[in-house]
Structure 1
């Protein structure tokens, strides 16, 4: 990942997958956690509803691969306990693209304590499509911990509203889970060549962005 002014450029290497991939020919994507409380934003951590919006740009020659990949979302609970096989008392609402009928169908990929140690679940698969057109697109999610409802807007249009996250009312927001890679956990998820995507304008608030 390389900062470019106010943008973050992310390289996904040919055949790359999740950070846990042991036999991938190259590395790609990136992952880190932010922490609201560590920056003095207890108001965000304790909010019943939180909105995360950001912009993403996929170049026109972007290769979505043959299976899918992850994009950033919100999380609650301890870092590292809201992803594959390590759930604990945590949850996350990253996005994914999944290739269905040769289209990059979007979904919110949810982990929550109700799932035990299994993999996450798709919420709203196919509610919108990710666009590879070298243009900036804004995606915004609202997570209501009280009701377990996830709402998503894509370029300002509401595309999803579904009760799809469970047992999280007592788990405060922790921060942004910046997590993006192809996968899955093996090279079959990876792109056929090196590709780049850009991210910018991350905003977190207790109400919808204008």
Structure 2
């Protein structure tokens, strides 16, 4: 039997080694650019959204979107159009950005902007899609309780936002919460088992589902790069869909085993769901001051293929390398005897 002092030394050394290896693995992930992420997922079709080379006010900004391939649905309608413009990049002073106003006291419907795009009008459905963009916020941006950021959607345009849950559509957006904490925010077919998963918060009032809140944090006064992947479950009654979010090139959200759609009528992913505003749906969510966000470098990749993951395996059942490392380390630490 080992001496007590030696046992203590072994346990301490192994605990330090375990923490060091885990920290090293987390901090030495290789950041990926959007093209690399698309390549990893075999997304072969791509597009990018055009930006002007001069400042444009609200109505001219919308006209530019419509006439330069953004393929806005609902006859070129941009909700809260007066809160949009194209301006010179206020962060890097290089290039042009899509600027969004959040007036003091604004919520959905009174600030920000929202529209959907049809990327693919050929009739071929996309089963998987990646959207990449960069977002910046004013210096000392006041996050309040939170707000929405763009993502992807499919199916009917008359739901899956604003508390209007519907089996005829789905949407997956990003959201900031208090102190800039990020998350994926989804209107999907949320099962009881999915809602019971760690880091999933399903609302029972028709509003969306919060996924992995706080695993990444938005910063103000600089550009944040985000990449979102949605791979639809197939067939619709299966649970093999995937939602992933990369923040500054590193994967932050990785949810598998999802039933994103439940109806055959949802044949694919429509395209970009540009949606940003404060809220929430009551005064506690209002923007506390007049402030702004800025967007640039919208790119998308897609594939006709749906998710090929095995059905019924939820992300909660798939341990990460960090969980496995912690488990093995804990067993070893318990195994080392305390006695002589």
TM-score bucket (shorter structure): 0.7 to 0.9
Correspondence 1:182 to 2:278:
yes
Measured at CA, do residues 190 and 111 of structure 1 come closer, stay the same or move farther in structure 2, by a change above 3 Å?
same
More strand by share: 1
Equivalent-residue separation in structure 1 for 2:260 and 2:116 (angstroms): 21
Deviations 1:152-202 (A, max 9, x none): 111111111112742427421011111100001122211221001100111
Give the match for residue 160 of structure 1: 253
Paired residues, what number? Answer: 191
In 2, the alpha carbon distance for the partners of 1:167 and 1:139 equals: 21
Match for residue 212 of structure 2 among 124, 142, 146: 124
Mapping for residues 66-145 of structure 1, pairs under 5 Å = 67-83=145-161, 84-99=163-178, 103-114=179-190, 118-132=206-220, 134-145=221-232
Structure 1 residue 144, shift from structure 2 partner: 1.1
Change (3 A) 1:187 1:41: farther
More displaced 10-residue stretch of structure 1: 155-164 or 9-18: 155-164
Instruction: State the Cα deviation string for residues 105-148 of structure 1 (Å, max 9, x = none).
Output: 1111100244897111011111101111x211210011111322
Specify whether residues 86 and 159 from structure 1 end up closer, same or farther in structure 2 by C-alpha distance, changes over 3 A only: closer
Decide whether the 8 Å contact of 1:8 with 1:199 is kept in 2: yes
C-alpha offsets along residues 76-119 of structure 1, whole Å, 9 cap, x if unaligned?
101132212242410000111122xxx22111110024489711
Determine if contact 1:74/1:175 at 8 Å carries over to the other structure.
yes
Q: 1:122 to 1:178 in 2, by over 3 A?
A: same
TM-score (norm 1): 0.83
CA RMSD of aligned residues (A): 2.1
Larger Rg: 2
Q: Which deviates the most, 167-176 or 146-155?
A: 167-176
- Structure 1 pair 165/80, CA: closer, same or farther in 2 (3 Å)? farther
3-state SS of 1:173 partner: coil
TM-score by length of 2: 0.53
The question of whether the paired residues in 2 share the 8 Å contact of 1:150 and 1:162 is answered with yes
- Shift in Å, 1:41: 5.0
Residue 8 of structure 2: aligned partner:
none
Residues in 1 aligned to 2:105 and 2:135: alpha-carbon distance in whole angstroms: 22
| Cross-structure match for 1:56 | 135
Q: Which has the higher helix share?
A: 2
* 1:12-27 matched pairs, under 5 angstroms: 12-19=102-109, 27=110
Rounded Cα–Cα distance in structure 2 between residues aligned with 1:86 and 1:158: 28
Range 148-157 or range 1-10, more displaced: 1-10
Gaps of 5+ in 1: 20-26
Match of 1:199 in 2: 295
